[in-house]
Amino acid sequence: MKSVTMADVAKRANVSKSTVSQYLNKRYDYMGEKTKERIKEAIEELGYQPNIVARSLKQKSTKTIGVIVANILHNFSTEVSRAIEDVCHSSDFHTIICNADDDPAKEKKYIEMLRAKQVDGLIIFPTGNNRELYRKMLKEDYPVVFIDRPVPDIPVSSVMLNNEKASQLAVNHLMENGHKRIAMITASIKDNVTPRFERIEGYKKALLANDIPIREDLIVSIQPEQIEEALNEMFQSNPPEAVIAGNDFILKEILKFAKHHKVRIPKDLSIIGIDDVPYASFYTPAITAVAQPTFKMGKTAGELLLNKIQKKQSTDDRPDFRFEPTLMVRDSVKQGGRRK
């Protein structure tokens, strides 16, 4: 079958090709309602599909952005990606989401693939280990925004949580309820992921501010599958009164440990999670959490990238955006702490 062309639509609607082009690009300033209706009906009747590739070449824009998340299984990644997609959809941009699995090689492959597809810009949860590739994008003035974490010495705008404050909120709430032996468990820091370092630093600062000595045996940075072994070791000596989970994966493993070993929450162990996972409010007991404003963060990242693409903001101006966490007080912290 012969494909339907813009000329066919123009002929059916009794307008010029340029008028059809203006309609397709939503330039309605000087177009009457009856003309728009005729074009719309002609497109529907003929089953016309615009040639996206041709339009992209002409406009020098694919109206598409790429989002490379560190790990799509994290609740944070899912909610942020949804907010980015909402922002892009409202501006008639499409979104391609790729999952890097915290793997620099996979991240590099996705950056190169998305740029080969000529996406107009990228939002990246960076692994931090593709520095030359990041620098190359900056040198080419290619629109890019980082989210969740910055990369040292790479001047790209980053949208992040105030991670130190997140830990401080958790520590202070536990101490207000009489806890002093507070453990902090994060995912492994060997990959130099900034939020993990910052959350540990915030935890340490909060302890020192309350005259509590820092105990390295209560700070664990480990892969989630190794948490049961680490908690077993911790509980065999002098068990903590409370534990802060550095992210949603860590929280899940701590809850599994508590269930398998009949550790009662909060009677035997108080728990606070950083990241307010969907099940936290209806788990029994409901889990106290430090929430990130995920949708605001995703919206900011999306708007920031679109501004760069549309040259509304200079790509030379690369401020960081820090969002404040919120403590969601529920039932997983024992009031008054452990009885002596």
φ/ψ of 185, rounded to 5, equals: -120, 125
Band of pLDDT at residue 22, cut at 50, 70 and 90: confident
pTM of the model: 0.83
Burial class (CB in 10 A: 0-12, 13-18, 19+), 8: middle
Q: Is residue 271 pLDDT above 60, yes or no?
A: yes
Q: What is the pLDDT of residue 228?
A: 87
Contacts of 202 (CB under 8 A, 6+ apart): 163, 164, 165, 166, 167, 168, 171
Distance (Å, rounded) from C-alpha 68 to C-alpha 166?
Answer: 25
Give the HSE-up count for residue 235: Cα atoms under 13 Å, Cβ half-sphere: 16
Band of pLDDT at residue 56, cut at 50, 70 and 90: low
Asked if 49 contacts 248 with a C-beta cutoff of 8 angstroms, the reply is no
For the ranges 146-155, 222-231, 316-325, the maximum mean pLDDT occurs at 146-155
Which of these ranges, 15-29, 66-80, 164-178, 288-302, has the smallest mean pLDDT? Answer: 15-29
Domains of the chain (ranges; CATH) run 6-50 (1.10.260.40), 62-161+294-324 (3.40.50.2300), 163-292 (3.40.50.2300)
Contacts of 150 (CB under 8 A, 6+ apart): 156, 158, 160, 194, 320
Which of these ranges, 26-35, 52-61, 276-285, has the smallest mean pLDDT? Answer: 52-61
Distance (Å, rounded) from C-alpha 19 to C-alpha 35?
Answer: 9
Residue 41 in 3-state DSSP?
A: helix
Q: Is residue 337 pLDDT above 60, yes or no?
A: no
Q: Return left, alpha or beta for 163; rule: phi > 0 is left, psi -120 to 50 is alpha, else beta.
A: alpha
Q: Which of 273, 272, 319, 277 is nearest to 294 (CA)?
A: 277
